[in-house]
Amino acid sequence: MITFDHVTKRYGATLALDDVSFEVPASSITGFLGPNGAGKTTAMRILLGHTRSSGRATIDGQQYAGISNPAGTVGALLDAQAVHPGRTGAETLAIAAAMIGVHRRRIGEVLDLAGLSVAESRRTVKGYSLGMRQRLGIAQALLGAPRALVLDEPANGLDPQGIRAIRDLLRAVADDGCAVLLSSHLLHEVAQLADRVVIIGRGRILDDTPVDHSTTQDLESRYFALTSTDDRSAA
């Protein structure tokens, strides 16, 4: 389970997160929605120990710094561009596997899960499209078979076929017991994938509700109504 418990973060005079609290249960997918600058990435960085805050952000009851086996507990993709461009995809995964103590056979498994072919994995990352980099980042996040996944815009740069493949992968991972938190601006995809949606605006949680998979209209209407009201109140 992923838990945010009264998390507040300031950058000088800017209140980036304002008393944020919500949960992502095991075996579920939570879509984290909000406009640019709403606080989504800041919240994820706090959860992963990259940024300090007041309040607590935990995975299975522990803050990231106290987790003895981080790679087996949480996998993350925050920036698909943060990969050495001169290495191949396979080399990138081999280095990551060695660092976390995972057998090299896991590399082939995660490449298959993420939809990267062996031939693609032998190419240098500088020749990858954004979608291929996203797939590589997802493969790396899965290396340790984590109990939680934190993904920032995982469908960015993917074509419709790739989006569907990642959607099927995340559903399977969640059904196997993983807690999945993903940010996205693709409301249609979130409506088809997520079990719950948390909407954030200007650092505040505006809504936390189950998703009706039968239609995206209610989700879209609620999202735009909440974020538009939040913008007006902050003006």
pLDDT digits (tens, 9 = 90+) for 115-156: 999 999 999 999 999 899 999 999 999 999 999 999 999 988
**pLDDT tens, 19-33?**
999 999 999 999 999
What percent of the chain is modeled with pLDDT above 70? 96
For residues 161 and 30, the model is more confident at 30
**pTM value?**
0.91
Residue 154 tokens read as: 């995982």
Pick from 26, 32, 27: nearest CA to 46: 32
Question: DSSP labels for 48-81?
Answer: TTSS--EEEEEETTB-GGG-SSHHHHEEEES-TT
Least confident residue range of 95-104, 119-128, 168-177, 181-190? 181-190
- Report helix, strand or coil for 104: coil
The confidence score (pLDDT) of residue 51 equals 95
The confidence score (pLDDT) of residue 99 equals 93
Q: Which helix (H) or strand (E) holds 175?
A: helix 160-175
Q: Give the mean pLDDT of 3-12.
A: 97
In the block, residue with structure tokens 């838990």: 3
The confidence score (pLDDT) of residue 6 equals 98
CATH number belonging to the domain at 2-234, selected among 3.40.50.300, 3.40.50.1820, 3.40.50.1100, 3.40.800.10:
3.40.50.300
The confidence score (pLDDT) of residue 129 equals 92
Q: Per-residue pLDDT for 235 more than 50?
A: no
Residues 73, 76: Cα–Cα separation, whole Å? 10
Q: Residue ranges per domain, the chain?
A: 2-234
For residues 36 and 87, the model is more confident at 87
